[in-house]
Amino acid sequence: MEVITTAAGADSRGAKSAGAAPFLAAPVPASDEEFAELVDTLVADPNRHDQLTDLLRENHPWYNERGTATVAQMRGWVLLGFARTGVSDHALLFVLEELDTGIDPYLVATAACALRSYAKPNPALAPFVMRALAQNRYRDDPVSFLAYADYSLGPEATSPVRELLLTLAWLGPHARTVLPELEATVKSGGLSKKALVEAHRTLEAIRGSEEEPDCCKLPDGLISKFSWAAKARRSSESIASTVFEDQDGAGITFNEFFQGRPSIVVFFYTRCDNPLKCSLTVTKLARVQKLLESRNLAEQIQTAAITYDPAFDVAERIRRYGEKRSVRMDASHRMLRATNGIDSLRQHFKLGVNFVESLVNRHRLEVYVLDRNGRVAASFERLHWDEQEVVDRAIEVLAERKKPARIATPMMGTLASIAIAFFPKCPVCWAAYLSLLGVTGLIQVPYSPWLQPILAVLMIANIASVWLRGRATGRMIGPYLVTLGALIILASRINSSSLKLAALGIVLTLAGSLLGVFTVQKSSAHLNF
Partner 1 sequence: MTTKKRASKKAAKAPKGMSALAALSVATNAKKTTAERVSALAQAPEAVMKSDENLQKLCDVVKNTDEPVEVRLEAINALATAAFAVATFEPYRNDYIATLQEVAVDPNQEIRESALGLLASEKNKFAQKKLLDGLKNPAKALVPPEKALQLLSYDVHTEAYAVARDIISNSPNELAKQEAMRLLAADPNSTKLFEKLLRDKDETREVRQVAASALNSLAPQKLQEHAREMLLDDSEYEDIQATSLSAVKQFGDDEEVAKDKALLKSVNRLSADAKSSKYKKSAKDFLAMVAEKEEK
Point out which residues bind partner 1 (CB under 8 A).
66-70, 72-73, 104, 106, 137-142, 149, 151, 153, 157, 159, 161, 189-195, 271, 273, 311-312, 356-361, 525-527, 529
Residues written for the chain: 529
Instruction: Label residues 119-135 b or e (16+ Cβ within 10 Å = b).
Output: eebbbbbbbbbbbbbeb
| Alpha-carbon dihedral sign for residues 238, 241, 242, 247 | positive
DSSP string of 56-98? TSTT-GGGTT--HHHHHHHHHHHHHHHHHH-B-HHHHHHHHHH
243 SS3 class: strand
Amino acid at 360: V
State the DSSP H helix or E strand holding residue 27, giving kind and residue range, or none if neither.
none
Within 10 A of 335 (CB to CB), how many other CB atoms are there? Answer: 31
Say if CB 216 and CB 124 are below 8 A apart: yes
DSSP string of 377-427? EEEEESS---HHHHHHHHHHHHTSPPPPP----THHHHHHHHHHHH--SSH
CA atoms of 333 and 477, how far apart (whole Å): 27
Say if CB 420 and CB 412 are below 8 A apart: no
CA atoms of 380 and 112, how far apart (whole Å): 23
Phi/psi at 122 (nearest 5 deg)? -145, 130
CA-nearest of 373, 393, 370 to 260 is 373
CA atoms of 352 and 238, how far apart (whole Å): 19
Name the residue nearer to partner 1 (CB basis): 116 or 137: 137
State the DSSP H helix or E strand holding residue 225, giving kind and residue range, or none if neither.
strand 223-228
CA atoms of 173 and 501, how far apart (whole Å): 88
Q: Which residues contact 256 (CB under 8 A, 6 or more apart)?
A: 519
The 3 state secondary structure assigned to 10-30 is CCHHHHHHHHHCCCCCCCCCC
CA atoms of 276 and 99, how far apart (whole Å): 11
Say if CB 304 and CB 261 are below 8 A apart: no
Phi/psi at 266 (nearest 5 deg)? -120, 160
| Shortest distance, position 96 Cβ to partner 1, whole Å | 23
